C-alpha cells in the first residue's frame, strides 16, 4: 500500500466517523475538512457505498447515514479495561507532552464506549492506582509521536541536538528504536554525521523535522543491534 492509498483509507475512515457523528454533511464541507476536491469526495462516497455502507443522499442538502446504522461497537472485558486504565497512570508519569496528549485523547474515546458497569469500575481503579516515578510535573520533550512516525515510515529526520557537554549540532538521522528508561526516552538512530548508530535523549532534541524522503530500513532486529554494537 503506497502513501496515497494509506491517506485515502484514513480519509474514508474519517468520513465514516463524521457521518456517524453528524446528522448531515455536504460534499463541500467534507472537501474543505480533508483539503481535497469535491470530485474526490464524490469518489470516496461511492467507494463507501460499494463497501456496503448505507449512505443516503438528500438532494440539495448532503449526505447522511441510514437511520439506526452503526459500525459494530468495539467492546472490552473488565480485565482489558483495567489494564488500559493502569497503563494510563503509567503514561501520565511520562515527560513527553505529545505522547501524554495523544494517549489521553485515546483513553477518553475508549471510556466513552465502555459499558456503564465497567466504566464505574475503571474510574474507581483510576483513583486508586498511583505511580511515583515522575518526581516533578515538568514535561521535558515533545517529539515522541513524530519520532514514532518517522521510525515506522522510514523517514529521514533532521534534529538539532545538545549533547552532555552542551555542544549543539545539526544532524540527519534514521530512527531505529526507542527505549524508555524511567521517565526519559532514548532514541537509537543511524547518525549520518557520525556514520554509525547513536543514542539520543529526547529531552536534548531542541528541534526536529521529519522529511518525506525515505531511508533504506536497517536489516537487523533490536536484539541483533545490541549483540553487534554493545
Higher pLDDT, 90 or 178: 178
CA distance 48 to 135: 49
Shortest CA distance to 182 belongs to which of 152, 198, 161, 202?
Answer: 202
pLDDT digits (tens, 9 = 90+) for 122-157: 777 777 766 665 555 566 788 888 998 999 899 999
* CA dihedral angle for residue 207, residue 188, residue 148, residue 114, rounded to 10 degrees: -120
| β-pairing verdict for 184-191 and 155-162 | unpaired
The total of other beta-carbon atoms located within 10 Å of residue 188's CB is: 20
Q: Which pLDDT value is given to residue 198?
A: 94
Q: Which pLDDT value is given to residue 129?
A: 66
Q: Which pLDDT value is given to residue 194?
A: 92
On the CB side of 187, CA atoms within 13 Å amount to 27
> What is the phi/psi pair of residue 5, to 5°?
-65, -40
Please say whether the beta carbons of 55 and 48 come within 8 A: yes
Confidence category of residue 158, pLDDT binned at 50, 70, 90: very high
Cell 446528522, residue? 23
Q: Which pLDDT value is given to residue 174?
A: 97
pLDDT digits (tens, 9 = 90+) for 40-83: 999 999 988 888 888 888 877 888 888 766 655 566 777 877 78
On the CB side of 75, CA atoms within 13 Å amount to 7
Cell 527505549, residue? 179
Shortest CA distance to 97 belongs to which of 159, 147, 139?
Answer: 139
Positions of E strands within the chain: 55-58, 62-65, 155-162, 168-181, 184-191, 196-201, 205-214
pLDDT digits (tens, 9 = 90+) for 170-217: 999 999 999 877 567 889 999 999 999 999 999 999 999 999 999 999
Q: Which pLDDT value is given to residue 4?
A: 66
Q: Which pLDDT value is given to residue 133?
A: 58
Q: Which pLDDT value is given to residue 118?
A: 79
Looking at residues 97-124, what average pLDDT do you find? 78
CA distance 109 to 198: 37
Residue 106 has pLDDT above 60, yes or no: yes
Shortest CA distance to 147 belongs to which of 173, 166, 167, 169?
Answer: 173
Q: Which pLDDT value is given to residue 122?
A: 75
Which residues does 41 contact at the CB level (< 8 Å), separation at least 6?
A: 15, 27, 30, 31, 34
Positions of E strands within 31-99: 55-58, 62-65
Amino acid at each position: 500500500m503506497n502513501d496515497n492509498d494509506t491517506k485515502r483509507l484514513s480519509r474514508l475512515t474519517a468520513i465514516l466517523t463524521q457521518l456517524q457523528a453528524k446528522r448531515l454533511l455536504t460534499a463541500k464541507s467534507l472537501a474543505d475538512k480533508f483539503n481535497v476536491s469535491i470530485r474526490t469526495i464524490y469518489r470516496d462516497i461511492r467507494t463507501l457505498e460499494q463497501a456496503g455502507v448505507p449512505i443516503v443522499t438528500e438532494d440539495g442538502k448532503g449526505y447522511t447515514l441510514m437511520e439506526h446504522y452503526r459500525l459494530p461497537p468495539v467492546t472490552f472485558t473488565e480485565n482489558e479495561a483495567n489494564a488500559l486504565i493502569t497503563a494510563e497512570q503509567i503514561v501520565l508519569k511520562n515527560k513527553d507532552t505529545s505522547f501524554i496528549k495523544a494517549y489521553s485523547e485515546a483513553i477518553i474515546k475508549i471510556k466513552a464506549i465502555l459499558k456503564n458497569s465497567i466504566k464505574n469500575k475503571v474510574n474507581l481503579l483510576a483513583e486508586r492506582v498511583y505511580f511515583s516515578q515522575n518526581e516533578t510535573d515538568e514535561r521535558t520533550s515533545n517529539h515522541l509521536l513524530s519520532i514514532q512516525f518517522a521510525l515506522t515510515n522510514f523517514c529521514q529526520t533532521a534534529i538539532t541536538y545538545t549533547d552532555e557537554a552542551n555542544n549543539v549540532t545539526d544532524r540527519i538521522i534514521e530512527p531505529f528504536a526507542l527505549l524508555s528508561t524511567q521517565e526519559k526516552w532514548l532514541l537509537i538512530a543511524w547518525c549520518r554525521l557520525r556514520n554509525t548508530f547513536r543514542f539520543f535523549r529526547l529531552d536534548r532534541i531542541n528541534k526536529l523535522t521529519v522529511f518525506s524522503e525515505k531511508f533504506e530500513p536497517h536489516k537487523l532486529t533490536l536484539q541483533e543491534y545490541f549483540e553487534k554494537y554493545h
